[in-house]
Amino acid sequence: MGRIQQPGEVRPRMAAAVLFLCAGVGVGSLFVRIGPGEIASGSWPGVIAIASPLVFLCACALVPFRATLGYILGGIAGLAALPWLVLSESSVLPSIWTVLNGPDEYGGNGKPFGILKILSVALVAAALTCALLRLLFSRLSPLGSAVSRRTWPALVVAVLVLVVWWAHSASPWMIPGSLDASSPDLGILHVEKHGLQYHETSIEYSRNGRFSVGHNDRRLLQYGFRDQSTNGEIPPIIHERVNELARSIARRSLRTAPPKALRSWNAEGWYLRLPGSPLLAFTSEYGTTPPREAIDLFEQIEGLPGTQRFITIQDVCLGFCYDPVAGLGFWYWNQRCYAPGDGTTRCL
């Protein structure tokens, strides 16, 4: 006859069964969306990971009756799924976290998959931690046995995994996909920061005679904010003034510190991009001021009439990843990330 379960053993086993079930469903749902054939054709971790949902479900069914075997299977399933989850994230640029940035019209279809993958990573981390705690710590000492019966340490580990992953991969701000069209020939961004509040105005100019002026007011610790843009045709006289500004900057060979988000409580920044020139940053934090002709051109284009459009931009970092580079229109990874040739990828 099997050993009679003690009352204190039922809840830990049921909690583990729920974790294994949720992890199996999460990973299995990822495979359904991606397609097992595509996963298996990628690498050996993908081939091994395909079996993990079934092993998780077996662990879920066994834990209430054969706890040790159930925990072993849960640990095996977690170890099978984890390498594929890690490699599928590290081999893809940009990170899955960027699908939670927006506007929705630039990648909203990827958000359900991104949320599912992030939740699956958390569930696998929690299930694997739970299995290891129950197998390794239950017989070490009375304290270890008491900790191993708790589910909250596994949930804490899952949260820590997400926090570390988010801190490492969510920055810099960008959205999925790539931009095939050429970038505008001129971009000027003016940022005013007062406490947690940012007021941003940007202009873009293209040689095809089009311009765009964007305004937004955003706050730190805020996920979404509305951006108002005005688009129209630029008068011919502005073309020459843009060329004059480009020639002026080229003659002086201007170089500045890299463009970074303002962090002082009250600060102001001007940021410029021109073809063939690095991004220029003039801020109160750096103690630098922009060329007067850049400000004059900015004010002229800002006052031009045009048609208005509104979009909502999201930042999964709650405002801390959205920086002047994004404000200048570098939204896609192939705009702001590049490979210098040393085997690494760097982003502006």
Domain co-membership, 148 together with 118: yes
**55-111: per-residue pLDDT in tens?**
999 999 999 999 899 999 999 999 999 988 888 887 667 889 999 998 877 666 788
Number of domains in the chain: 2
Q: Average of pLDDT values for 239-250?
A: 79
> Is 152 part of a structural domain of the chain?
yes
Question: What's the CA gap between 55 and 323, in Å, rounded?
Answer: 44
Residue 181: predicted pLDDT: 66
Domain co-membership, 134 together with 260: no
Q: Average of pLDDT values for 279-303?
A: 92
Domain co-membership, 14 together with 146: yes
Residue 325: predicted pLDDT: 94
Domain co-membership, 119 together with 204: no
Say which DSSP state 260 is in.
-
Structural domain that includes position 341: 186-347
Q: Confidence band (pLDDT; 50, 70, 90) for 4?
A: very low
Domain co-membership, 148 together with 221: no
148-157, 307-316, 330-339, range with the lowest pLDDT: 330-339
311's tokens: 């979009």
Across the chain, mean pLDDT equals 86
Q: Which of 100, 135, 169 corresponds to the end of one domain?
A: 169
> Is 275 part of a structural domain of the chain?
yes
Q: Which of 108, 135, 169 corresponds to the end of one domain?
A: 169
329's tokens: 């229109």
The SS3 call for residue 294 is: helix
Count CB-CB contacts under 10 A for residue 120.
21
Domain co-membership, 261 together with 305: yes
pLDDT at 40 over 60: no
Question: What's the CA gap between 279 and 5, in Å, rounded?
Answer: 67
Residue 1: predicted pLDDT: 40
> Is 211 part of a structural domain of the chain?
yes
Domain co-membership, 85 together with 151: yes
49-53, 80-84, 136-140, 192-196, range with the lowest pLDDT: 136-140
Q: What are phi and psi of 243, to 5 degrees?
A: -65, -35
> Is 238 part of a structural domain of the chain?
yes
> Is 180 part of a structural domain of the chain?
no
pLDDT at 321 over 80: yes
Domain co-membership, 283 together with 253: yes
Question: What's the CA gap between 230 and 212, in Å, rounded?
Answer: 6
Question: What's the CA gap between 154 and 132, in Å, rounded?
Answer: 9
> Is 2 part of a structural domain of the chain?
no
**199-227: per-residue pLDDT in tens?**
999 999 887 888 999 999 999 999 999 99
Domain co-membership, 35 together with 114: yes
Question: 1-13 in b/e burial notation, b at 16+ Cβ within 10 A?
Answer: eeeeeeeeeeebb
Domain co-membership, 228 together with 302: yes
Question: What's the CA gap between 12 and 14, in Å, rounded?
Answer: 6
Q: Which amino acid is at 150?
A: R
> Is 176 part of a structural domain of the chain?
no
Nearest to 229 by CA among 305, 309, 300: 309
> Is 175 part of a structural domain of the chain?
no
Domain co-membership, 27 together with 159: yes
Q: How far is CA 276 from CA 179, 185, 331, 340, in A?
A: 19, 10, 19, 17
Q: Which of 113, 139, 169 corresponds to the end of one domain?
A: 169
Residue 2: predicted pLDDT: 43
Domain co-membership, 246 together with 163: no
